Structure 1
Amino acid sequence: MMQKLASIFLYLCVALYAAAQDKPNVLLIYVDDLGYGDVGAYGATKLKTPNIDALAGRGVRFTNGHAAASTCTPSRYSLMTGNYPFRQSGTGILPGDAKLIIPQDRMTLPKVFKASGYHTAIVGKWHLGLGDEVAKDWNAAVKPGPLEVGYDYSFIFPATADRVPTVFLENHHVVGVESSDPIHVDYKQKIGDDPTGKENPELLKMHSSPGQGHDNTIVNGIGRIGWMTGGHRARWTDEELTFTFFEKAKAYIQAHRKEPFFLTFNATEPHVPRMPAAMFKGKSGLGYRGDAILQLDYTVGQLVQELKDNQLYENTIIIFSSDNGPVLDDGYQDGAVTELHGHDPSGGLRGGKYSAFEAGTRVPFIVSWPKHMATGSVSDALIAQVDLLACFAEFLEVNLAEQDAVDSKALWKTLIGQEQGGRSHMVQSSRTHAVLQGNYKYIKPNAGQKIAKLVNIELGQDSEEQLYDLSVDRGEKNNVAKKFPAKVAELKRILDQELKSVERD
């Protein structure tokens, strides 16, 4: 009898292990400020991105894939929650000392995976706030954060690479902080005696552009936004950022190769300050921005190779996308403008980061799953990063509450290239709002500035209503609002209905 029970127990263990192994691992590679035209698979000719292109060659390349917003924090909020950013106040671009903006009591993308038995991790940029308050003790446990909203493990930096504090956090603690050199951060006034870019420009190895705020505390020869003091041994070296993140991701993959995992890898490229490792400097011929994209592509290749080395590649879903569109001069004089040499980061689209035009949110969006997806397919379906939560909930049979992920659409078969149908419409958030439906795009009137002069990007703002037929006017040059008043009225109704719950300040 005991032998029979032991056999049954062994059988169940083997069955459960096999079921766990059958679940695909998921690697989300979420990059920063990469434009639609920055990748070879999307038409770039001045830059070579063979590893990113290879992902497209083994899966589906979406030509109408979008971030929810034209800037980073709101896009990341939507990715995590399945909600448009305007549904919650405080989802604009956050300073480095912001409090956590992801609700802890609601469903998130990593929580979907946890509900299905996955181990979850995030490595890289966070920029969604930490702690319950702006004022926080960086020398003790910093929470709530990623662990409280669905991740089992996190290795992050708090905001962006151009903002203090320039430190890593592993789970709840700053890596390398010492009690004898405590960290303090302030975004209102200078603190401490650390040199600043404004007062000590002779110490800079990369000069900041005037008026963009990157002239506060100098770390690693680069002026940052905000002031910090202390934590000198905890501060990162920019040239090592990407390799540090990769090594953490590599160790995570190796440690969890025998169980299904969801790994979010939030790359910092090509966001400013662009300070690539020596092996990439000068290699693109397009300044440090181009070099940073080469470094990003290399990292993608290394991540894929790590999956292959651990026999995980064939059954790993890899999603590659960017949080918003491109920007060249975003605070530092790094050759991005002067060494562009004919490269078009927006891929023929109008606008860029910060913009209501298409280049603000239409980004590279690639999904690969070698074991189950056809290779090298292209989809024109309208799909958004906000949909990932509902897509994976559908696939993993995780039930969502009515109040969760209200803007996320369950488009699993579209996501893996088995169907061409996408969402009926989507709202794009910037300094104004737009709605995209089929071939038509409507931009809500907003009498703000038309061009962000500091970054030289058209913002898409106008006192008049704008309507574009993207089937014949991909570059949004011909406003046809007066020609098609019925379509304007239809899209305006859709947008007003979506915005009625709350308007972002």
Structure 2
Amino acid sequence: MNRRNFLSTTPLAAFAGDAAPGAAAQQAGDNGEFHYVDRRQGAHPFQTVHGARRPHIFLICLDMVSPDHFLPSRPLQREMEMPTIRALTAEGVNFTNAFCTVPICSPSRASMYTGRYPYVLANPGGGPEGQENSLRANDVIYPEYLKASGYRTRHVGKNHVGAQKFMDAFDELDTNWARAMPVLKDDGLYHAYLRRLGVKMPRYSRQIQRMYPDRKTPSGTLGGWIEQSDGQPFPIEGQYSWYLSQWAIEKTRDAFASGGPGSPLYLQLNIYDPHNPFTIPAGLEKREAELRKAISLPASFRRAVERNFQPSPGEPALLDFHRRVWGIYRPETARDYMAANALAMEVIDRALARFIKALKEMNIYDESLIIFTADHGEMNIHQALVDKGAYLHPETQRVPLVIKPPASFGSRPATVDAPVSLLDLAATVCDAAGVIPLARMDGRSLLPYVRGQAEAGGRDLLFQTGWLATGNPAFGTERWERGGRHHFFVHNMGSTSDELYDLNDADAGSIAADPSQRKILDEMAQRTYALLEKDDRWRYYRLAFRFQHYDVLKAV
């Protein structure tokens, strides 16, 4: 049976007309070989490409990165010392309009690893009993395809989509955590690492306190600056991101020592930082002083102070609720948060410098494909908010995305402004590995952009959210026009008012109530409905949305 006839009987046929084929799919033709992730059951088939170059692949994923720290237009990132990340960006393709699907850790990671829009809409423990917050046993994450096709697969750090999936995709003895918070107190390997350094466990010397709405009573900590438990300075070499990078170096070396030279390696380094609670080590006092001088509080925070943190006219009540949850009312606390957040990124950069240096010393850097990204964004004091929540906003939806290709690709460094998604990473990695999954994926390979073979264009991307601190079924989309307007539309199912953001505004508030934006708002509602109609997974979104927007949609 030739491939065309085979595809007509597989799940791939359901989306082949929608998704842009990657290089692997174009090269496979009738010469590809068929394999299965589960060979005994003949489950999860995929095809491989004869003669495909199979590079080493490294995924570096941070947790909750503010657009202030990576968008070229943001002044703060120009003041930050991140030579490693900048060098990686200079050698690769920088996607400046990359988005997550859900701005919550577990759902975003579920989407990134499966290449599909997630049914997981809450972190573990983040929703009511019965709410799915881990991937199912019959889901496949893309490292499973790599493993089944001959890659050695290794994992370091956070997974947060269920431990069983990572046991399927990686060595069952790989340590991973499926919880929201880092495992500093539970990680015996980290404790042994500190003992080897002669460093005692960390404790806080300065903390950033959240406050209850009375603005007097502390409601919790957002972390801060750490010292050793005996009061001695805590060295950067003992900080958890540094430890994870060292662990990644050791796993890479072990993989090459134990495997044959022809077996490619896939390793993912999932760093919890810069997610709060921050753990800023000693030795950064000068950088802290310099960053504090460079930090300017967002205008939206200053406006919140001026109105005494009363809700902004036209904004959804959800934002005011999350503002009270995070409880940052004082400008000095806001500055502390922004300074610690920026310092956490600089610590990561220094840790990654060691990892990149090790790859070069092992002579594998040049021919490796390296992806640098994060699971979602972070408010970072914009709109007087931090972290993220059960809402959709450009600051939490944006993610950094850089792909450094192997030298043999012959690619040139580039900047891509077209919208892309973390949905695309699974298809991209499989394409680079010469693997063609025959199951449905919602994402597209980004290698045509990396190879300079794709024209920038608009994209239908759906965004969702669910449970975090509260529940809020919400969805939205964006519209991008080359060299022009770029808007972000949100519908909260528990509210009668929509949100509309100008993505060119670095401190965006909703402009949906502005009469001059009515035409764009209606166009975005129609665009969103058309997107919901394409896929039966969005049936209940579609039904409610049509009734609430009947006058705008009745002609559609």
TM-score (norm 1): 0.67
Paired residue for 1:445, among 491, 500, 506?
Answer: 491
Q: Alpha carbons of 1:252 and 1:384: their partners in 2 closer, same or farther (altered >3 Å)? A: same
Asked whether the equivalents of residues 319 and 366 of structure 1 are also in contact (C-alpha less than 8 Å), the reply is: yes
Q: Alpha carbons of 1:394 and 1:203: their partners in 2 closer, same or farther (altered >3 Å)? A: closer
Tell me by how many angstroms 1:165 deviates. 8.0
Match of 1:246 in 2: 245
Q: Deviations over 1:438-471 (max 9, x none)?
A: 34545343276xxxxxxxxxxxxx6323445646
Query: Using the alignment, how far apart are the partners of 1:395 and 1:203 within structure 2?
Result: 43
Asked whether the equivalents of residues 103 and 397 of structure 2 are also in contact (C-alpha less than 8 Å), the reply is: yes
Consecutive unaligned residues of structure 2, counting only runs of 5 or more, are 1-49, 193-202, 213-217, 229-235, 292-338, 466-471, 543-556
Query: Using the alignment, how far apart are the partners of 2:375 and 2:461 within structure 1?
Result: 16
Answer yes or no: is 1:294 the counterpart of 2:346: yes
* Bigger share in strand: 2
Answer yes or no: is 1:493 the counterpart of 2:530: yes
Answer yes or no: is 1:66 the counterpart of 2:130: no
Asked whether the equivalents of residues 141 and 165 of structure 2 are also in contact (C-alpha less than 8 Å), the reply is: no
Match of 2:464 in 1: 429
Query: Using the alignment, how far apart are the partners of 1:203 and 1:299 within structure 2?
Result: 21
Q: Alpha carbons of 1:165 and 1:275: their partners in 2 closer, same or farther (altered >3 Å)? A: closer
Query: Using the alignment, how far apart are the partners of 1:72 and 1:409 within structure 2?
Result: 21
Q: Deviations over 1:106-135 (max 9, x none)?
A: 3212112113311111111222234xxxxx
Q: Alpha carbons of 1:501 and 1:250: their partners in 2 closer, same or farther (altered >3 Å)? A: farther
Answer yes or no: is 1:108 the counterpart of 2:144: no
Paired residue for 2:187, among 148, 165, 168?
Answer: 168
Q: Alpha carbons of 1:241 and 1:203: their partners in 2 closer, same or farther (altered >3 Å)? A: closer
Q: Alpha carbons of 1:416 and 1:100: their partners in 2 closer, same or farther (altered >3 Å)? A: farther
Match of 2:65 in 1: 34
Match of 1:313 in 2: 365
- The alignment partner of 2:348 has SS state of helix
Tell me by how many angstroms 1:366 deviates. 0.7
Q: Alpha carbons of 1:502 and 1:483: their partners in 2 closer, same or farther (altered >3 Å)? A: closer
Q: Alpha carbons of 1:288 and 1:474: their partners in 2 closer, same or farther (altered >3 Å)? A: closer
Match of 2:161 in 1: 128
Tell me by how many angstroms 1:42 deviates. 5.8
Query: Using the alignment, how far apart are the partners of 1:120 and 1:52 within structure 2?
Result: 24
Query: Using the alignment, how far apart are the partners of 1:100 and 1:477 within structure 2?
Result: 30
One-letter amino acid of the counterpart of residue 445, structure 1: H
Answer yes or no: is 1:94 the counterpart of 2:117: no
- The alignment partner of 1:269 has SS state of strand
Query: Using the alignment, how far apart are the partners of 2:279 and 2:347 within structure 1?
Result: 10
Query: Using the alignment, how far apart are the partners of 2:511 and 2:272 within structure 1?
Result: 35
Asked whether the equivalents of residues 159 and 178 of structure 2 are also in contact (C-alpha less than 8 Å), the reply is: yes
- The alignment partner of 1:93 has SS state of coil
Query: Using the alignment, how far apart are the partners of 1:262 and 1:313 within structure 2?
Result: 13
Answer yes or no: is 1:385 the counterpart of 2:416: no
- Percent pairwise identity: 20
Answer yes or no: is 1:270 the counterpart of 2:312: no
Match of 2:196 in 1: none
Asked whether the equivalents of residues 66 and 361 of structure 1 are also in contact (C-alpha less than 8 Å), the reply is: yes
Tell me by how many angstroms 1:427 deviates. 1.0
One-letter amino acid of the counterpart of residue 361, structure 2: D
Query: Using the alignment, how far apart are the partners of 1:425 and 1:36 within structure 2?
Result: 22
Q: Alpha carbons of 1:261 and 1:39: their partners in 2 closer, same or farther (altered >3 Å)? A: same
Query: Using the alignment, how far apart are the partners of 1:240 and 1:473 within structure 2?
Result: 31
- The alignment partner of 1:83 has SS state of coil
Asked whether the equivalents of residues 58 and 369 of structure 2 are also in contact (C-alpha less than 8 Å), the reply is: yes
Aligned residue pair count: 391
Query: Using the alignment, how far apart are the partners of 2:379 and 2:403 within structure 1?
Result: 24
Match of 1:139 in 2: none
Tell me by how many angstroms 1:314 deviates. 0.4
Q: Alpha carbons of 1:501 and 1:423: their partners in 2 closer, same or farther (altered >3 Å)? A: farther
Asked whether the equivalents of residues 321 and 364 of structure 1 are also in contact (C-alpha less than 8 Å), the reply is: yes
- The alignment partner of 1:425 has SS state of coil
Match of 1:343 in 2: none
Match of 1:155 in 2: 175
Alignment of 1:313-332 (within 5 A): 313-328=365-380
Asked whether the equivalents of residues 316 and 370 of structure 1 are also in contact (C-alpha less than 8 Å), the reply is: yes
Q: Deviations over 1:277-329 (max 9, x none)?
A: 3234563334332221111111221111111010001011111111111244x
One-letter amino acid of the counterpart of residue 206, structure 1: Q
What RMSD, in angstroms, separates the aligned Cα atoms of the two structures? 3.9
Tell me by how many angstroms 1:424 deviates. 2.3
Query: Using the alignment, how far apart are the partners of 1:482 and 1:429 within structure 2?
Result: 23
Match of 2:35 in 1: none
Match of 1:420 in 2: 455
Match of 2:443 in 1: 408
Consecutive unaligned residues of structure 1, counting only runs of 5 or more, are 1-18, 131-143, 177-201, 223-236, 329-336, 338-345, 449-461
Query: Using the alignment, how far apart are the partners of 1:326 and 1:248 within structure 2?
Result: 27
Paired residue for 1:357, among 390, 393, 400?
Answer: 393
TM-score (norm 2): 0.61
Asked whether the equivalents of residues 52 and 434 of structure 2 are also in contact (C-alpha less than 8 Å), the reply is: no
Tell me by how many angstroms 1:153 deviates. 5.9
Q: Alpha carbons of 1:21 and 1:383: their partners in 2 closer, same or farther (altered >3 Å)? A: closer
* Bigger share in helix: 2
Query: Using the alignment, how far apart are the partners of 1:307 and 1:51 within structure 2?
Result: 13
Q: Deviations over 1:76-124 (max 9, x none)?
A: 1111111212xx24x3122499997123323212112113311111111
- The alignment partner of 1:154 has SS state of coil
Asked whether the equivalents of residues 118 and 262 of structure 1 are also in contact (C-alpha less than 8 Å), the reply is: yes
- The alignment partner of 1:410 has SS state of coil
